[in-house]
Structure 1
Amino acid sequence: MAIPGNLLSATTSEVDPNTSGWTSKLNCTISKGTGGRVGDGCLIVKSVAAGEVQARTVSSYPVTAGTVYQCFADAAGTVPERIGIRWLSATGSEISVTWSLVTTAAYSGWHRVGVAGMAPAGATQAQLLLSSTPGAGLINHFWENLYLGLPIRTTGNLFGFGTESSEIDASGWTAEVNASVSRQVPIALWAVDNYLGGAHTIAVTATGAGNASAVSVDRPSVTPGTDYLAYAYLNPPTLAADCWLELRFYDSNGNQISASRGTLVSPPPGSGWYRQRASGIAPVNAATCSVAAGVNGASAGQVLRLESVVVMVAPSAQAGTVLPYADTAFEQGVAGWTRPSGVAVIARSTPWGQASYDGSYSMSVTSATATASVVRSARFATPGGVGTSYRAQILASLGAGSWTVNLKVRWYDASNLDLGTTGGTSYSFPGAGWYAMTTDASVPATATQGAIELTLTAGATNSAMYVDWVALWQTLPLTAVAAVDETASITLTLRELPVGQSISVYRVGVDGVRTLVRGPSGLLDKEPITSDLMIVEDYEAPLGAALYYRIELWPDGATTPSTRTSDTVTITAGDPNWAWLKDPGAPQRNRRFLISRPPEWQRPIEQSVYRVKGRRNAVVLSGVRGGLEGDLALWTQTDEERAGLHWLLDSGNVLLWQAAPGMGVADMYVTVAQATEARVGGTAMEPWRAWTLPLTETDMPVTTGLGGSAGRTWQDVLAEFDTWAGLLTTYASWEGVLLDRRLG
């Protein structure tokens, strides 16, 4: 599996099918081994004699001075190891090496090593170095899954790479109470495709007995009223250690105004790494945030380690849900949930990871008697009012015994007066696993708030069940379409999609012909569903023609899909003297132009003519007649239009030409050969230009994806770049910023 952004070739990274990407640098020989993680191959670096051995990449890779680069690999051996980036000048001379710390111990299984650093002044290329120091000759060390490239960070993280990871240094953290902060490289066993898992960790060491903690130096901006989630991997010093992670908010003067703490359940399942979460809504006067971590009642010298620290806008169990993350996922407790009646006991599940649909915990419900109990969430604002409807959903799993679950919504007015319940759907557990349980509830008059209410009836003594990933949202049409005439496109909104299934989306014309619609990775043909909400922007829909969309939802392994269809929609064709030229993969470049003269079409064909002696007619061997070819003449009327057409043509991509219905030409995918831009007379300041575009008809591109930011926001840009100067030296244009297409 290729690592995204890797400068190393697949052969060099995966050591398959050979070791041609590697060579000895010091005291070693190299060969290809078996038992790798990505494929079967791995790199064996064998010592010639006692002492340090080094291997390096054969190739040198282009780098930009002042830019941070990261490297990592999975290693295994009988001695500790380190990895480094060797910075070279334009002449190939070594400038310096950025080395990782040496791992704290040897480990014969696969484990992660890595480091990151800034390319020094004068560096134009770099090599990857692998190092270990055996005590004798003929000692093997194994390497696999190697990476060199720009830092890999969590999209949406408010923190920059230097705080999320400690691969550069520990400057993103500072001791707070009874602690020192340093970096260590313990043995870390990350999944082969967990490229966010690093080697260096933040080590918070208690300087004396008592509570010990550290806090991030970085304080990114937050938006008041927004729900945020912080998480990190914690490596506790002992199984009995009381470890925690805290999300803190500060006002514009730097004063802490609130904090939400998530405590790692003690004891954890073992001595490994455990992701702990904490979430909270930024108060009305919040300006920034930070993350802190610590150990309560630590002994002197105990070490809490942190890795992969993230703060981001909290995810939702369902688009539009009114429940915050704390009441949805139970990662730091049961939040606002209560048990108004009955004997059931509610609590956060334990131990870590035992029972959860999302995250590491859920809400456990236990009943000592075979009786009914009511469990209810806190109240949340429910906009819309009378005449609207809300849908409540829980994910539930059977722990022990048996249960009947009745799910409804209890309503309240603005003064918190109880207005009773609506909805009410009963469920039982058909077996093990997690089951979605939903109910629809109409909003009564004067209601402004709602709470999810569960009547849980235990069928046996000592029954237990778990609840997770709870949501309450206003029910809206599952499928909605709207024409956007300004961009000659259609926006298709799909709600409540089944995450984990696959989706196909077709555009269907009045003639019944189906055409797959384009998505981020190409045509939407059985693409995995990763969110319950999908918004599809169709820039290739025909002008002035009625159409609708057919959506096919494919469960894993199914041979027949479930389907949805949209309403009929039409894009206004507009002035027939104008036509659209569109880039299917880059709709931001699409433009509408005034047509001067349509093409006079030709259809070329390859033929061989043989004149046989004694025959009147020749023998002609023909190929298949080609598609349409001709010159399209159009005008640009302003400098802005002219620049826009240049931008559209720059990529050389296949374009879509769309004219209004009735103009004698169907929508057509074309390539444009040498374009001619001519003045139309008048003064030098005349902005009009006459263009001639030689068109050749082509097939619709099927693998071209619709370009987009892939989840990146301005916060990611702010987290990665301290100044505008850094942005200007990294991207050639604003389009490059949008698509994260960097120079070099």
Structure 2
Amino acid sequence: MPIPGNLLSATTESIDPNQSGWTPKLNCTILWATGGRNGPGALNVKSVAAGEMQARTVSSYPVVAGTVYETFSDTAGAVAERIGIRWLNSSGTEISITWSLTTAGASASWHRVSVAGQAPVGATQAQVLLSSTELGAAVPHYWENIYLGLPIRTTGNLLPFNTESTEIDTSGWTAVVNATVSRQVPVVSWAVDAYTAGGHTLAMTAVAAGNASVLAVDRPTVTPGVEYLAYAYLNPPTLAAVAWIELRYYDATGNQIAAQRSTLAPPGTGMYRQRASLVAPANAATCSVAAGLDGASAGQVLRLETVVVTVAPKFAAGSIITYSAASFEQGGPAGWTTASGVATLDRTTPWGAAWFEGSYALAITSTTVTASTIRSGRFAGAAAGLNFRAQVIAHVGAGSWTGVAVKIRWYDAANTDLGASVGVNYVMPSGSWYILNSDAIAPAGATQAAVELVVTSGATNSVLHIDQVALWQVMPQTAVVPVDGDGYIQLTLRELTLDSLLTVYRVAPDGSRTLVRGPSGLLSLNVITSDLMIIEDHEAPLGVQLYYRIEIYNPSGTLAGTRTSALVTLTLADINECWIKDPGNPQRGCRVLVQHAPDWLRPVEQSAYVVRGRRNKVVLSGQRQGLEGDLAIWTRTDDERAALHLLLDSGNVLLWQANPGMGVDDMYVTVAQIIEARTGGVAQEPWRAWTLPLVQADMPVTTGVNGAQGRTWQDILTQFATWGDVRNVYATWEDVLLDRRRG
């Protein structure tokens, strides 16, 4: 699939169906080859003679001086390689080239090279350069999955792009003890769509024997009481190396006040993602990330890739359990204890041995055929009289388990034990991971809760794995709310099953169904990526009682279950107003005052023939076309007028909606040449009379709802130092929302 935000065309990116986007620059010929991953094609750059060969994009792509751009590619060959961005001025003359470091070794398997740099003064265009130095003539080097564009960073990362990726330089990092900092490009095979990984890594080299560590220079702001998660790929020098990542908190004066270290249990010497999380203390102001080796030998190197600090996720919307206690990623049982029985608790090892989420799980081991009670720490957020659900995902690691009872234990504000719920007991089959849950009503006085498991082994030395724990207040699975002021219905879906498929219909009083629009188009068999989904239906009709039907399919496409919402009606208070909306850009919707509705025309293609000797003509007609007519409206303020211009500027298919009883149905329309007229009176009068020539259109099917795609204000704060910098990059607030930059 195309790489999001790529300036290169799909053909130039994937080399499919040909190599027409590329041309030789030095000592090479260009051929099309098979064996690609981003489509079947790959670029074969073949040397003419021994020595460096270079290929470049045929086209030059517009850039803005002072802006950082990134390029990357997957590559394979007999020698090491590098990739570069060639900066050109307006006349096409080369200004300079930003080269990546050369890969540390050669590999015939696909691996990633990349680099990022700031467009120099005078640069208006850029090209991608591919380079390798071959040892003879007619030697091929292969490239595919090639990107040029703005840096691709992890959404929600508090750290800036260069600190996350080290693709520009090492300025985001500093040595703390016994270390030097540099960049290296090891040979690593990443997934074809792992766009944030690859290329340069941060290399920490131990100066002498002993502990060594480095620290990110950045100090992003944090909110006390919020749990944050730090993670990175760690590449240890040896299997025995003690490599770690650490999340650190600082107060307002810069003093370190808390830290959480997470030590990697490596299964080898590859790249392994390690996580550390901790709730920010009450006096926390900023945070940072450190990494290092304990007991390093002189010259040993620890590499870091894709370093991220973000708000820690929840495994169910509203879960009160911290990520550290729910995921077991940091070592040890993460606050879980054996309340009774012989069971012992530990984190699974090594990295990747047993897990459902992340890289580790809780391992419960019972040496005897008995029952044990396992309990998490206490978590605030329980409330008397409310229904809560505890959920764990479990897997038999060894032996057998005749019973796993899931319970909730309650506590008051003074930590007094109020007892446990009855719970639900499960007999654990072997093989897969299974979801186990139990509901209970919080008793009087409850303010805290813990998840409790009563596990009974069926054989000696049995092992049970637990992962992805959640405890949350049970809310309605499906809820609808009309948002009359903004002209949409909000549909909330909870407890969705990840990776299943979702279809959502709007059902009218006559039983007719219409698919509801989502981010990628109409919601028909869309993959579920979150257990919580909030859908804004801006195309819901006005003044009509309707409901929603939700169909959930398993990944193979078989219907697994359905839901229906309550009845809901969207209203428009003033019958003299109407809505005009852009289905793909609901933020542009306008509520305007109607002067008069169109007098409709319905054109038809006809040919009339006069037959000699006959009184009547012979008329051949095509199918009568849709409605056409002029809608007359008023805008009452300058803001309304500007908003209507923004709505009409795109030329997209629009949705016109009026109150029932006005003699018109909801209609998708295109708008031809508009007339904006003054209404008379003084020049300062803000009212305008508009004539909108409408032509009825079909509902756009593939149009998705534009949005922030997970970006928050924190991402803006991370990427830009001042509001002036934001204004230099984005022309409007809508451009900020959609991350649509100048140039």
Choose 395-404 or 717-726, whichever is displaced more.
717-726
Secondary structure of the corresponding residue to residue 505 of structure 1: strand
SS state at 1:729 partner: helix
- Structure 1 residue aligned with 2:400, among 386, 402, 406? 402
Counterparts of 1:49 and 1:550 in 2: how far apart (Å)?
Answer: 66
* CA distance, structure 2, for counterparts of residue 5 and residue 190 of structure 1: 19
Amino acid in the other structure paired with 2:109: G
Q: Displacement, 1:680?
A: 1.3
Residue 719 of structure 1, CA deviation: 1.8
Shift of 1:280: 0.7
Q: Which amino acid aligns with 1:290?
A: S
The CA distance in 1 between the partners of 2:58 and 2:643, in whole Å, is 43
Q: CA deviation at 1:140?
A: 2.1
Distance 1:485 1:423, change over 3 A: farther
| Residue 455 (structure 2) aligns with | 456
Contact 1:101 1:184 in 2 (8 A): yes
Which amino acid in 1 is paired with 2:556? G
Deviation at 1:383, TM superposition (A): 3.6
Q: Give CA deviations for 1:233-292 in whole Å, capped at 9, x if unaligned.
A: 000011000110000111111111100111001xx2221100000001111111111000
Question: Which of these residues, 325, 328, 348, is aligned with residue 326 of structure 2?
Answer: 328
User: Aligned residue pairs: how many?
Assistant: 741
C-alpha root-mean-square deviation of aligned residues, in Å? 1.2
Listed as ranges, the gaps of 5+ residues in structure 1 are none
Task: Give the distance between the partners of 1:399 and 1:653, measured in 2 at CA.
Answer: 56
CA contact (8 A) 1:167 1:198 kept: no
Per-residue deviation, residues 44-80 of structure 1 (Å, max 9, x unmatched):
2222222221111111111111111111111222221
Partner of 1:636: 635
Alignment partner of 2:117: what SS?
strand
Give the stretch that moved more between structures: 724-733 or 327-336: 724-733
Q: Which residue in 1 is equivalent to 2:16?
A: 16
Question: How do residues 515-594 of structure 1 correspond to structure 2 at under 5 angstroms?
Answer: 515-594=514-593
- Deviation, structure 1 residue 156: 0.8
Letter in 2 for 1:587: P
1:133 aligned partner: 133
Identify if the C-alpha distance between structure 1 residues 561 and 699 changes in structure 2 by more than 3 Å, giving closer, same or farther: farther
Letter in 2 for 1:9: S
Letter in structure 2 aligned against 1:280: L
Shift of 1:561: 4.1
CA shift at 1:588, angstroms? 1.3
- Partner amino acid, structure 1, of 2:322: P
Contact 2:228–2:279 under 8 Å retained in 1 = yes
Distance in 1 (CA, whole Å) between partners of 2:232 and 2:559 is 41
- Return 371-380 or 75-84, whichever deviates more: 75-84
Matched position secondary structure for 2:421: strand
Point out the more displaced range, 101-110 or 274-283. Answer: 101-110
In the aligned structure 1, how far is the partner of 2:409 from the partner of 2:740?
50
Aligned positions of 1:1-150 closer than 5 A? 1-150=1-150
1:347, CA displacement in angstroms? Answer: 0.4
Q: Does 1:356 align with 2:355?
A: yes
| Distance in 2, Cα, partners of 1:373 & 1:419 | 20
Partner amino acid, structure 1, of 2:95: I
Measured in 2, the distance between the counterparts of 1:166 and 1:203 equals: 10
2:287 — aligned with what?
289
- When residues 570 and 40 of structure 1 are mapped into structure 2, their CA distance, relative to the original with a 3 A threshold, is closer
Structure 2: distance between partners of 1:29 and 1:493: 56
Aligned-partner residue type, residue 169 of structure 1: D
Residue of structure 1 in register with 2:650 after alignment: 651
> Which letter maps to 2:226?
T
Matches of 1:692 and 1:11, distance apart in 2: 43
The one-letter code sitting in structure 2 at the alignment partner of 1:284 is A
Worse overlay, 39-48 or 530-539: 39-48
**Equivalent pair of 2:382/2:446 in contact (CA under 8 Å):** no
Measured in 2, the distance between the counterparts of 1:132 and 1:525 equals 46
Partner of 2:246: 246
Describe how 1:696-707 pairs up with structure 2 within 5 A. Answer: 696-707=695-706
| Structure 2 residue matching 1:717: 3-state secondary structure | helix
Asked if the contact 2:70–2:115 (Cα under 8 Å) also holds between the matched residues in 1, the reply is yes
CA distance in 2, matches of 1:454, 1:474: 19
Task: Provide the C-alpha distance between the structure 1 equivalents of 2:513 and 2:140, rounded to a whole number of angstroms.
Answer: 59
**1:313 matched to which residue of 2?**
311
Amino acid at match of 1:294: G
Q: Deviations over 1:493-527 (max 9, x none)?
A: 11111111111111112111111111111111111
Once structures 1 and 2 are overlaid, which stretch shifts more, 441-450 or 318-327?
Answer: 441-450
Contact preservation (8 Å) 1:598, 1:632: yes
Deviates more, 1:31-40 or 1:642-651: 31-40
Aligned equivalents of 1:53, 1:350: Cα separation in 2 = 46
Question: What amino acid maps onto 2:611 in structure 1?
Answer: V
**1:686 matches 2:709:** no
Match of 2:481, SS state, is: strand
Query: Within 1, Cα distance between the matches of 2:326 and 2:460?
Result: 27
Task: Report the alpha carbon displacement of residue 683 of structure 1 after superposing the two structures with TM.
Answer: 0.9
Distance in 2 of aligned mates of 1:31 and 1:59:
18
Amino acid at match of 1:397: H
Report SS of the residue matched to 1:415. coil
SS at match of 1:662: coil
Percent identity of equivalent pairs? 65
> Which residue is 2:718 aligned to?
719
> Does residue 1:619 correspond to 2:651, yes or no?
no
CA contact (8 A) 1:611 1:618 kept: yes
Deviations 1:459-494 (A, max 9, x none): 000101100000000011111111111112111111
Aligned mates of 2:25, 2:229 — CA distance in 1: 46
Are 2:338 and 2:373, in contact at CA under 8 Å, matched by a contact in 1?
A: yes
Deviation at 1:558, TM superposition (A): 4.0
Whole-angstrom CA distance in 2 between matches of 1:31 and 1:708? 40
> How far did residue 29 of structure 1 move?
1.9
- The verdict on how the C-alpha distance between 1:561 and 1:609 changes in structure 2, with shifts beyond 3 A counting, is farther
Superposition deviation, residue 225 in structure 1? 0.9
SS, match of residue 724 in structure 2:
helix
Q: 1:423 to 1:496 in 2, by over 3 A?
A: farther
> Residues 573 and 661 of structure 1 are in contact (CA less than 8 Å); yes or no, is this contact kept in structure 2?
no
CA distance in structure 1 between the aligned counterparts of 2:735 and 2:23, rounded to whole angstroms: 36
Question: Equivalent residue for 2:441?
Answer: 442
Are 1:186 and 2:160 an aligned pair? no
Counterparts of 1:521 and 1:19, CA distance in 2: 30
Equivalent-residue separation in structure 2 for 1:723 and 1:198 (angstroms): 30
The answer as to whether partners of 2:408 and 2:423 remain within 8 angstroms in 1 is yes
- Partner of 1:163, secondary structure, is helix
Name the aligned partner's letter for residue 194 of structure 2.
N
SS in 2 for 1:53: strand
2:367 aligns with: 368
Q: CA deviation at 1:376?
A: 0.1
**Alignment match, 1:262:** 262
2:155 counterpart residue number = 155
TM-score, with structure 2 as normaliser: 0.98
Residue 437 (structure 1) shift: 0.2
Moved more, 149-158 or 567-576: 567-576
The answer (yes or no) to whether the contact 1:709–1:738 under 8 Å persists in 2 is: yes
2:273 aligns with 275
Point out the more displaced range, 208-217 or 635-644.
Answer: 635-644
Q: Are 2:387 and 2:441, in contact at CA under 8 Å, matched by a contact in 1?
A: yes
AA aligned opposite 2:532: L
> Alpha-carbon deviation of 1:735?
0.1
Task: Determine the C-alpha separation between the residues in 2 that align with 1:573 and 1:119.
Answer: 50
Letter of the 1:220 counterpart: P
Q: The residue matched to 1:133 in structure 2 has which SS?
A: strand
Within 2, Cα distance between the matches of 1:53 and 1:557? 47
> For residues 174 and 687 of structure 1, do their structure 2 counterparts lie closer, same or farther at Cα, with a shift above 3 Å needed?
same
Cα drift, residue 430 of structure 1: 2.5
Stretches of structure 2 lacking an aligned partner (at least 5 in a row): none
3-state DSSP class of the match of 2:568?
coil
